Amino acid sequence: MTNYTEFLYMHEELGLLAVILLLFVCDLLFCKDSKRGGVYNTALPVILLGILTAFNLLPLSNLPFEALGGMYHHTPMDTIVKSTLNIGTLVTFLMAHKWLARPENLVKQGEFYIVTLFTLLGMYFMISSGHFLMFFIGLELASIPMVALVSFDKYRYESAEAGAKYILLALFSSALLLYGVSLIYAATGSLYFNQIWPDASSSWLLLCGLSLFLAGMGFKISLVPFHLWTADTYEGAPTVVTGYLSVVSKGSAAFVLLVVLAKAFTFGGVKLDWQVALFWVIIASITLANLFAIRQSNLKRFMAYSAISQAGYLVLGIMGGTEPAADGSAQGMTALVFYLLVYLAANMGAFAVINVVEQNSGKLAIKDYNGLYGTNPKLAFLMTLCLFSLAGIPPFAGFFSKFFIFMAAFNAGFKVLVFIALVNTIISLYYYLLIVKAMYISKSDTPVATFKSDGYTRAALAICTAGVLLLGIAGWVYNYLDSIAKVSL
C-alpha cells in the first residue's frame, strides 16, 4: 500500500514542477505572435519564481525527514540551499530579460525559462537525494538541459563550440561518476548513503569508486585538474548562462558533495582518504586558477578562472567538517552555505554588470572597461563592490564568508591549507584590483558609452548589492544557518 502523502514532503520539487508546467502552458497559449514575444516579455517567470521561493521559505519545519523509503532526504538546510539557488535563478532571469528581448532570441525565450528551471529541478533532486540513483538522476537532469543553455546562441560559433565542449565533458564525467558508483556498490552492496559500510576485504574497491566519484564531482564543480572545460565554456556561453553556471550549478554541486561525503563516507579511514585527495585538489584549484586568472584579457574567461579558485574556497568548507563537533555545531556546513550565499550575491552582481555592458555596447575585454568610471560611474561602483566582496575585503560580505570558511578549516586542523589559501587571497586581490584599476584609473579613447540600464537589470543589481552589503554585517544570517546546520548534519 503506497502512502501517497509522502509526495507532499517533496513540496519544493512539486512547486517548482508546477511553475515549469504553468510556464509551458503560458508559452503554448499566449506566445503565438513571436514578433512581440508574448507573455514572456513580462515579469511572469520572475514573479512565479519569487512566489515559489517565498512559499519554500515560509513553512520551515526544523526536523529532517525521509520519504520514498530513504531515496529522498530532506533537511532544513536543504530548504535554505534550494531557496538560495532560487534567488540565483531569479537574478539570472532578471539579467536575461534584455538579452532575451533581442530579435533573434524572442522566438525561443520560452525555452530559456523552462530549460533553466529544469536544471534547477535536477539540482533540487540532487540536493535531497538519499540514494546514489536519485542523486545521479538529479545530476543528469541538471547537466543535460544545461547544454541547451550553453549553446543557446546557436548561430554564434563560440556558443555552439562551448555547448559541444560542455556536453562531451559532462557526459564523460557522468560516466566516470557512474562507474565510481558501481564500484562503490560492488564494495558495499548498497546505494543508500546511510547504508554504506565497507567490507574490510574490498576497501581498495571502495577507494577506486570514491576517487572516480570525486573526479566526476570535480568536473561539475570545475576543480583543478578537472577544470579544462571551464574557461572555453564560460567564454562561449551567453553571459547570462555563464553567470548561472558559475554560481547556481557550481554551488549546488559543492553543497551536494558535502552532503554525500558527510552522509556516506565518514567512517574509518575513508574520511582520511578523501581529505587527502581534496587537500591537494584545493591547493591546485586555488593556486593554478589564480595564476591563470592574472593573464586573462577577456572578462568572461577571467571570471571563469576566478570561479575555479572560488570553488576551491567553497570546497574548503567541506574540509571544515562533515560531522558535528563536540558542542553540536556544524561549522563546516554553515560556513559553506554562508559562503555560497555571499558568493552568489557578489558573482551574480559582477555578471549583471558584465551582461548589461555587453548588451549595451558589445564589449567584453578587460581593456574595454578602461574609463568605465568616467562614463557609467554607478555601474563601475557596483562592480567594485562585487569584486571587493569576491576578494574578501570588509565591510563587504565576502570578508565574513572567507573568514568563516577559513576558520572552519583551521578548526578542523588544516592549518597549512588555510595558510596557503590565505596567501592565495593576495593573488586574487591582485587580479580583482586589475579590473578596478581599469575602471577607475586607466584612460581610454573609446570608453563604453554612457547608457541607462533597464529596470530588470537594476532589480538584479539591487538584490546583489543588498546581499553584498548586508549579508556579512547582519550577523543573524550566519547565526540562523548555524542553528539549522546542527539539525541538518
Can you give the binding site for another protein, defined by CB under 8 A?
329, 331, 334, 388, 393-395, 399, 403-404, 406-407, 410-411, 415, 418-419, 422-423, 425-426, 429-430, 433, 436-437, 440-441, 475, 478-479, 482-483
- Smallest distance, Å, CB 405 to another protein? 12
- Smallest distance, Å, CB 330 to another protein? 10
Residue closer to another protein by CB (options 8, 326) is 326
Residue closer to another protein by CB (options 216, 398) is 398
- Smallest distance, Å, CB 479 to another protein? 6
| Residue 74, strand partner residues | 65
Residue 129: what are its φ and ψ, rounded to 5°? -75, 150
Three-state secondary structure readout of the chain: CCCCCHHHHCHHHHHHHHHHHHHHHHHHHHCCCCCCCHHHHCCHHHHHHHHHHHHHHCCCCCCCEEEHHHCEEECHHHHHHHHHHHHHHHHHHHHHHHHHCCHHHHCCHHHHHHHHHHHHHHHHHHHHECEHHHHHHHHHHHHHHHHHHHCCCCCCHHHHHHHHHHHHHHHHHHHHHHHHHHHHHHHHCCCEHHHCCCCHHHHHHHHHHHHHHHHHHHHHHCCCCCCCCHHHHHHHCCHHHHHHHHHHHHHHHHHHHHHHHHHHCCCHHHHHHHHHHHHHHHHHHHHHHHHHHHCCCEHHHHHHHHHHHHHHHHHHHHHCCCCCCCCCCCHHHHHHHHHHHHHHHHHHHHHHHHHHHHHHHCCCEHHHHCCHHHHCHHHHHHHHHHHHHHHCCCCCHHHHHHHHHHHHHHHCCCHHHHHHHHHHHHHHHHHHHHHHHHHHCCCCCCCCCCCCCCHHHHHHHHHHHHHHHHHHHCCHHHHHHHHHHHHHC
Residue closer to another protein by CB (options 38, 392) is 392
- Smallest distance, Å, CB 434 to another protein? 9
- Smallest distance, Å, CB 138 to another protein? 30
- Smallest distance, Å, CB 282 to another protein? 16
- Smallest distance, Å, CB 140 to another protein? 37
CB 147 within 8 A of CB 163: yes
Residue closer to another protein by CB (options 179, 381) is 381
Place of cell 573568514: 403
Residue closer to another protein by CB (options 30, 403) is 403
Residue closer to another protein by CB (options 54, 416) is 416
Residue closer to another protein by CB (options 100, 485) is 485
Residue closer to another protein by CB (options 55, 419) is 419
Residue closer to another protein by CB (options 26, 417) is 417
- Smallest distance, Å, CB 400 to another protein? 8
Q: In sequence order, which residues have a C-beta less than 8 Å from that of residue 174 and are 6 or more positions away?
A: 136, 139, 140, 143, 216
Residue closer to another protein by CB (options 43, 433) is 433
- Smallest distance, Å, CB 458 to another protein? 18
- Smallest distance, Å, CB 147 to another protein? 39
